[in-house]
Amino acid sequence: MKKPIAQISRVERYMARYPSAKPKEIADVLDLPLKAVYNYRMLIKRKNIQLQAMDDIESYLNKVVPKTVKVKEFPVTMIEPDPVNHPAHYKVGGIETIDFIEAKGLNYNLGNVVKYITRSDHKNNREEDLKKARWYLDREIMKQHI
């Protein structure tokens, strides 16, 4: 006995080639039980309906959702080290902390949290910078409860 998937595939191919074929004809030509042909046709139609629904969804999304989305670009400052305008500890990782903060649209408190955390390992007093970061984070959290 052939596997049902192979039988379904044969019925599907036959139906595609002869769209007006009746179940009895399909059963006779493919040497399958008539009941099986009815069941296979139902499965094939259900699958085709699902595929059509997926095509409809895809075509709808293609109309509604643009293919390309413009992303706002933020400049990255790549300047020689300058202890006043571009301190080295702000550029670790290839991007200045201020560029990251502006790109993410962070407010003053969260910007300072990022600033103090990113520079904590690159200045003299790590614990002090982390405490400052925590102070700004606590302040931001308190704003949420007011």
Say whether pTM exceeds 0.75.
no
Examine the domain organization and report whether 55 and 105 are in the same domain. no
Query: Do 11 and 41 form a contact (C-beta atoms < 8 A)?
Result: yes
pLDDT, one tens digit per residue, over 35-49 is: 888 888 887 777 766
Same domain for 56 and 93? no
- Structurally, how many domains does the chain consist of? 2
Contacts 24+ apart (CB under 8 A), 135-144: 136/109, 136/110, 136/112, 137/109, 137/110, 137/113, 139/109, 140/107, 140/109, 140/110, 140/113, 143/109
Tokens of 26: 């399909």
Q: What is the CATH number of the domain that holds 32?
A: 1.10.10
Residue 59 has pLDDT above 60, yes or no: yes
Q: How far is CA 129 from CA 39, 101, 104, in A?
A: 71, 17, 21
Give helix then strand counts, H and E, for the chain: 6, 0
| Containing structural domain, residue 24 | 4-64
Model confidence at 26, in pLDDT bands (50, 70, 90)? confident
Question: Is the domain of 54 the same as that of 101?
Answer: no
E-strand ranges in 1-146 read none
Does a structural domain hold residue 72? no
Domain assignment present for residue 71? The answer is no
Residues of the chain with pLDDT > 90: what percent?
Answer: 16
